[in-house]
Structure 1
Amino acid sequence: MHLSITPLKLSAIVEEIPSDEEAFKLADTLLDSTTSWKEGKTYHKQVKTYSRAKGPEDGAAWHCRASIHKADEATFAQMWSKLGENKAENEMKFIPNIKKVTHVKELSPTQNIWTLYYTFPPPVAPRVFTTVQMTRLSDVFPRNGIIVSMAVDLSDDQDLAKLEEKGVKGRYVSVERLTELEDGNVEWRMATSSTPGGSIPTYFVERSLPSQIAEDVPHFMKWLHSLPKEE
């Protein structure tokens, strides 16, 4: 098993979805390796970016962002409640390009398949990304939570495939980890590999990805701070 943009098959005959244990082991190993990746730009004074060239088992290059958040900006519990629970539905609230999310299937309490529908300014056509999302929370100090998203191919199950919107099929894999630090701050680290599908040149996608993934951080914080205090 290797984390890549190659979609996993899901049907009555074939199911390639890995176990939680296997997926989280791969995710932790990958995230731990990001500290040695090539360092890129820092955005918004706190979001550092890194990258790793496409390897022999990768479908595309990898990009990472990492940021540290003080407790007065957001606590671990506040961040996990929005990123580790109902992640896809919450992403639609702070990522402008996501216009619709649909829950496709629950595989287990920690594994759910979602399809996300993105729109972009013309002439870029809408994109559809379908993923299985897995979550794990370690609630002992220092707490950490991890979210793994892997591309899924529903074409072998027509009933589930009907839940996808019409658009160009894109694919991505991402691993995201929140870590509570000794000083009470929280590290938010995410690594992703993706392709939008269609005819968008690879060099354009790779060049724009660092800034795109960095933007998710202030978008999330602005949305989080807009919620009623009791949330």
Structure 2
Amino acid sequence: MAAKNNYRTPLITILNPLKPSQLPSEEEIIAQGKALLEESTTWKAGKLCWDVVETAYRPKLPGDGAPFHCRISVHTPEEISFDLLWDKMSRNKPQNEMGFNREMQKVTLIKELSPTATIWSMFYKFQPPVSNRVFTELQVIHFSEAKPRTGIVVTIPIDITSPEDAELAKLEESGVKAKYACVERVMELPNGNTEWRCATSGTAGGSIPDWLVEPTLEKKVAQDVPLFFEWLRKTEGRSA
């Protein structure tokens, strides 16, 4: 993706999603993702969930669109290696997530922009009266061999409703448009453990008010960790 001068900051936001033609460089997207992750170390600490997942919180700031929630978990090599966790994060991440997210019913690769940047559409089906939701998102991945080895995935909402993107829009599922912005980092620690950190913000869209959803997000974000490991045990044949 070529660098542009007509984008606003911050990029990690659910406000005013960018169109494919407006995207900045992948380097800029990753740089803002790294900055958000570093900032998350100073956020207000939340609850400890499932005895292993720490949480943190940042109120909504100008340009955010919604507050941010963060989860942090540390895993021993016996639980999972850095290489295996990064493999699940960096290759077909939405398809892997569908394995442990019950509401996530279909994922579609809309377009591959580069080997490290892709556009996905994710379809969520809920029990009535909640309508189905569709997230259309750009994912950019970055890996560094420099110690500590680190892998980062930045996910931001993207707008493909313009006439020039009509062919891409044909691949979207029907549903209420929802949005989320997320930065995940897998980092190898000096003692051989792996830290998994995720900072995310989102909105369900439609008629569901954010004030109704917001109190549930801390636990919702944190539960991805035990759900992921449950899915991993089944798919990899690993013992509990």
TM-score, normalisation: structure 2:
0.91
Q: In structure 2, how many angstroms separate the alpha carbons of the residues matched to 1:124 and 1:226?
A: 30
Q: Distance in 2 between matches of 1:225 and 1:141?
A: 29
**Structure 1 residue 221, shift from structure 2 partner:** 0.8
Give 1:185's aligned amino acid.
N
Query: Which residue in 2 is equivalent to 1:191?
Result: 199
Aligned residue in 2 for 1:78: 84
1:33 aligns with 2:39: yes
1:165 aligned residue = 173
What is the SS of the residue equivalent to 1:78? helix
Q: Write out aligned runs for 1:46-125 (5 A).
A: 46-125=52-131
Q: Give the Cα–Cα distance (whole angstroms) in 2 for the partners of residues 123 and 217 of structure 1.
A: 28
Alpha-carbon distance, 1:229 to partner: 5.5
Q: Residues 118-153 of structure 1, C-alpha deviation per residue, up to 9 Å, x if partnerless?
A: 112221111000001000111243211000001011
Aligned length: 226
Aligned mates of 1:228, 1:58 — CA distance in 2? 38
CA distance in 1 between counterparts of 2:153 and 2:169 reads 24
In 2, the alpha carbon distance for the partners of 1:16 and 1:50 equals 31
- Listed as ranges, the gaps of 5+ residues in structure 2 are 1-8
The one-letter code sitting in structure 2 at the alignment partner of 1:166 is S
Letter in 1 for 2:137: T
Matching of residue 9 in structure 1 with residue 3 in structure 2: no
Q: Say what the alpha-carbon RMSD is for the aligned residues.
A: 1.2
Shift of 1:228: 3.5
Give the counterpart letter for 2:13 in structure 1.
S
Which amino acid is the alignment partner of residue 9 of structure 1? K
Please give the TM-score of this superposition, normalised by the length of structure 1. 0.95
Report if the CA contact (8 A) 2:204-2:210 is conserved. Answer: no
2:4 corresponds to: none
| Cα displacement (A) at 1:178 | 0.4
Q: Deviations over 1:165-214 (max 9, x none)?
A: 11000011100000000111000000011111011121121101111111
The answer on 1:210 being equivalent to 2:218 is: yes
Rounded Cα–Cα distance in structure 1 between residues aligned with 2:160 and 2:102: 25
**Could you tell me how far 1:19 is from its partner in structure 2?**
1.2
